[in-house]
Amino acid sequence: MAGEKISKALEAELDKIERECMRPLQLKAFQCSADCCRDQRMSHESLGRCLEGCMSPVAKAQENILNSEVTSLQDRLNRCALQCQDEVKDLLDGNPSDKTRSAAEKKAEDCLMKCADTHIALIPNMVKRIRNSMNCK
């Protein structure tokens, strides 16, 4: 449930970035690529370099900006979930009663929801960093 909550929040923001930032960047790259292909004087090697230069900003945005920010958020979320797991393990002894087990499950759910809420709150700043890095306001 907590994972679904953060996934929906992240997907909504990434969809906006894709539409508002990545698509215009891709359009510019494809237009640049078309211009490369229009130049009949270009050698095969020159054409390859031209096309690579056109697509480079898209690849950089995808790999260096989007992927690194999302990976960083996921890493932080995973560390939070591991902390929850450790807290629950500390509650359980060798042979926990049903009451103790139930309390541990509740603590785990609450802790994971708190992780989700905390990390959802981080998404707007992440989006701001991505947009700034991509020069997309």
**Residue 38, exposed/middle/buried by CB under 10 A (0-12, 13-18, 19+)?**
exposed
pLDDT recorded at residue 128: 94
pLDDT recorded at residue 103: 87
Confidence of residue 83 (pLDDT cuts 50, 70, 90): very high
d(CA 137, CA 130): 10
Pull the structure tokens for residue 31.
Answer: 């237009």
What residue type is assigned to position 87 of the chain? E
- The answer for residues whose C-beta is within 8 angstroms of residue 70's C-beta and 6 or more apart is 10, 14
| Residue that has been written with the tokens 């979320």 in this structure | 77
d(CA 40, CA 38): 6
**Nearest-5° angle of CA 18, CA 23, CA 27?**
165
Task: Quick: pLDDT tens for 36-56.
Answer: 999 999 999 999 999 999 999
pTM: 0.79
Mean pLDDT of all residues in 100-109: 89
